[in-house]
Structure 1
Amino acid sequence: VELAIRAGDEVGCDRIDELTLAAPLVLPEQGAVQVQVRVGVADEAGRRAVTVHSRPDGGEELPWSQHAMGVLVPGVDAADIGFDAAVWPPAGAEPVDLAGFYEARAQDGFVYGPEFQGLRAAWRRDGEVFAEVALPEADGREADGFGLHPALLDAALHASVFTGLDSDERGGLPFSWEGVSLHASGASAVRVRLSRAGASAVSIAIADAAGAPVASVDSLLVRAVSPEQLGGPEVPVGDSMFRVDWTPVRGAASPAVESVALVGPDTFGLADALPDTALHPDLESLTASGLVLPDVVLIPVAGVSGDDTAGSVHDLVARTLGQLQVWLEEDRFASSRLVFVTRGAVS
């Protein structure tokens, strides 16, 4: 949110119309990441697309991973954020006991370091939650370097667990923001009002101690996240899964198998080398035969050469993909191995 608003300021779009988070940006234990924020050209209404990508620092050969996408729009005049923060705590609000709050969150899997433990007090009143949030003193001195310090905004969201969100979403992370405006910058301590904006969403109003607007969010949708989604790969995958490679096998003994089947035209004369191999025109006929499925199923993939067109290559790839999909959809193949056989793929 901070990055998107800052980028929007450069082009006169100081309001986030929407921002959807596609994936968490997981920081490595060592090293750094490069972050790219891109703002598109304006449409007739002045709206601009915005995206946030990252890649490992030093990984110029790796593709960018997308973390967020949304729309920026020209802002409106600073509006009434909907509550009088100068009256504090709000009249009629009941205090919430925060003893052990962050310890309980840690037991749920959310361990906040001292910089992010900014929730100081909270109150409830008629479906609303009011919170007092502040940065640690050291981070407070850095608040001037941000529109809205990310740790301050994050701490303001901690009180959302008291708004009555669906139980599955109370441990959730921000997923989709709508109508985000920054009215003042540099705050190190704020007063917050949160209210329900749906079963899994809250609206947020943030003001300073004098009641002046700091930021407002029409709707923040949260979603539950598993620890696995936050793990991140130990080694960036990049394009490695898609690299074309060829490993010659010389002098290796063939693995012992009980049975082999050959599917499709015997382009390479495999049946001559494997006289006991059963022949089938396609995978569907193999499964329909009612026979015990073999240990290994061979599918010849004839290469293209000469004057064959790119369309022939496309057709061959499409047929091979179709065979692979049939294989993966058939539970009976779980104990068999599929082998695509080709030759002449490399010089």
Structure 2
Amino acid sequence: MCSPEYWVRHVRETVRFLNGVRALEAQGVTAYIEVGPDGVLSALAQDCLTEPADDIAAEDTPAPLLVPVLRKDRPEPQALVAALAEIHVHGETVDWRGFFAGRGARRVELPTYAFQHQRYWLEAGASAGDAAAFGLDPADHPLLGGAVPLAGADGLVFTGTLSLHTQPWLADHVLRGEAVLATTALVELAVRAGDEVGLGHVEELVIQAPLALPRGGGVQIQLVLGEEDETGTRSLEMYSRAAEPVGEDEWICHASGVLAPEPDDATTAEVAAGLAAWPPPGAERVEVDGLYELLAGDGLVYGPSFRGLRAVWQRDDEVFAEVSLAEESVVDAQRFGLHPALLDAALQPLGLGVLDGVGRGRMLFSLAGISLYASGASALRVRLARTGPETLSLTAVDGAGEAVVSADTLTLRQVATEQPEAAPAADAAGTLPEPAASSEAAAETP
């Protein structure tokens, strides 16, 4: 290439580019480096190969490398270094000592393990839009979009849409293969509804049917508050239907209850008194390893967002637990009164069978006397105490010993361990059939 004769022949004689490329290919050449002002010849060379690069790669044979060292639209140093890097990752030999000579570069040792990856993309949140533009008052809650005071009446309706796409943590609560809204989310919604009308006590909440969440689309929900009666209480009902209803889909009632003013004798000091000493004196530590695998065998699968149980102790008919939210849920906790995953974790010790007759194989049927004293908690110390054959009370404080939540009565009922052969199909709202109570449990409970 340095002789005048070469360039004379290059100008005057036929350029046998196709023959040259195929001769190289026949000799097993797999890397073609174009030394020139752009990548024109690299594109031509690829067309000259006897087999397209895609076909070669499909046969588990290394695809040929065709790379120009310069590009007209890039600075020369950048294009050259990029070409060398591409050659290197293709498995060809690059004289890096020569490249870095005189630059003060040196070799460094890399970790012997695979690089740790952490995802920093922001998750898409629920897009509530401007509630006022639709005639709604803002609900200021992650599970609700807005509220509508009823004209000519004292009632109120909350509305919102639940979706596994916009609220992915909901998919971490799976019952018999379907994502189901945790019962504790219904408790959270009842508390939020009470806050709106100045009623800080959920006097009663009865679960009517589970609320299944479809993998695609979403579910519309409504919380309907009745008018205030002479005692100062209001009725509450929670409904759902498919977000994109087909025909005249009916609303399904999932829970009903009563909201009331906070009792006059309620004091946070009484709630926190039994949890002042921690760990509780006289209580024995209970092993929690394997709990989630055990529950999964029963058809209840918890994902990372709901795996919040950290430690459990037992003292006679009392169970104590430490629970906390997963790291990715801590920030969201500030937007809830009490995050449903945290309250669910407070009930998970029952799955260990620590209290005979109240635990595995039973579902939360109703709650009574619920009061929330502080919002935004991300960790709790919990006390569950048996109050009857199928009932418990719950109290919980934060890490500083301040009262967070209490419930006078939690009622659990036995559910069938096997689904009936001809179980009803899920309706258009994606709602699961209500779990059937066993005949024995039905005789023991109202």
Question: How far apart are the structure 2 equivalents of 1:155 and 1:123?
Answer: 14
Question: How far apart are the structure 2 equivalents of 1:93 and 1:177?
Answer: 26
Cα distance change, pair 164–202 in 1 and its aligned pair in 2 (3 A): same
Q: Is the 8 A contact 1:26 1:232 kept in 2?
A: no
Unaligned runs of 5+ residues in structure 2 are: 1-186, 431-446
1:38 counterpart = 2:227: no
Aligned to 1:78: 267
Q: Is the 8 A contact 2:240 2:429 kept in 1?
A: no
Q: 1:128 corresponds to which letter in structure 2?
A: E
Aligned to 1:236: 428
Q: Is the 8 A contact 2:272 2:401 kept in 1?
A: no
Cα distance change, pair 30–232 in 1 and its aligned pair in 2 (3 A): farther
Trace 1:51-130 onto structure 2 (pairs within 5 A). Answer: 51-59=237-245, 61-76=248-263, 77-79=266-268, 80-81=270-271, 83-130=273-320
Instruction: Report Cα offsets for 1:116-141 as digits up to 9, x if no partner.
Output: 11110000112210000000000111
Aligned length: 236
Aligned to 1:21: 207
Question: How far apart are the structure 2 equivalents of 1:83 and 1:110?
Answer: 34
CA-CA distance at 1:224 after TM superposition:
2.8
Instruction: Report Cα offsets for 1:241-298 as digits up to 9, x if no partner.
Output: xxxxxxxxxxxxxxxxxxxxxxxxxxxxxxxxxxxxxxxxxxxxxxxxxxxxxxxxxx
Cα distance change, pair 137–208 in 1 and its aligned pair in 2 (3 A): same
Aligned to 1:49: 235
Q: Is the 8 A contact 2:272 2:397 kept in 1?
A: no
Q: 1:149 corresponds to which letter in structure 2?
A: H
Trace 1:162-173 onto structure 2 (pairs within 5 A). Answer: 162-166=353-357, 170-173=360-363
Q: 1:62 corresponds to which letter in structure 2?
A: D
Instruction: Report Cα offsets for 1:180-218 as digits up to 9, x if no partner.
Output: 000100000000000112111111001001111000000
SS in 2 for 1:111: strand
The share of aligned pairs that are identical, in percent, is 48
Aligned to 1:205: 395
Q: Is the 8 A contact 1:190 1:209 kept in 2?
A: yes
Q: 1:71 corresponds to which letter in structure 2?
A: V
Question: How far apart are the structure 1 equivalents of 2:378 and 2:337?
Answer: 11
SS in 2 for 1:104: helix
Trace 1:138-287 onto structure 2 (pairs within 5 A). Answer: 138-161=328-351, 162-166=353-357, 170-226=360-416, 228=419, 233-234=425-426, 236=428
Q: TM-score, normalised by structure 1?
A: 0.64
Cα distance change, pair 55–195 in 1 and its aligned pair in 2 (3 A): same
1:8 counterpart = 2:194: yes
Considering only CA atoms, is the larger Rg found in Structure 1 or Structure 2? Answer: 2
Q: Is the 8 A contact 1:86 1:210 kept in 2?
A: no
Q: 2:357 corresponds to which letter in structure 1?
A: D
Instruction: Report Cα offsets for 1:133-186 as digits up to 9, x if no partner.
Output: 00000011110010000000011001124442416x522221110100001000
Q: Is the 8 A contact 1:17 1:179 kept in 2?
A: yes
SS in 1 for 2:230: coil
SS in 2 for 1:5: helix
Extract structure 1 runs of 4+ deviating beyond 6 A. none
SS in 1 for 2:300: coil
CA-CA distance at 1:57 after TM superposition:
0.3
Q: 1:85 corresponds to which letter in structure 2?
A: L
Aligned to 2:31: none
RMSD: 2.1
CA-CA distance at 1:68 after TM superposition:
0.4
Question: How far apart are the structure 2 equivalents of 1:29 and 1:37?
Answer: 23
Question: How far apart are the structure 1 equivalents of 2:424 and 2:389?
Answer: 29
Structure ranking higher on relative contact order (CA contacts 8 Å, 6+ apart)? 1
Q: 1:15 corresponds to which letter in structure 2?
A: H
Q: Is the 8 A contact 2:272 2:402 kept in 1?
A: no
Q: Is the 8 A contact 2:272 2:396 kept in 1?
A: no
CA-CA distance at 1:51 after TM superposition:
0.4
Cα distance change, pair 154–237 in 1 and its aligned pair in 2 (3 A): closer
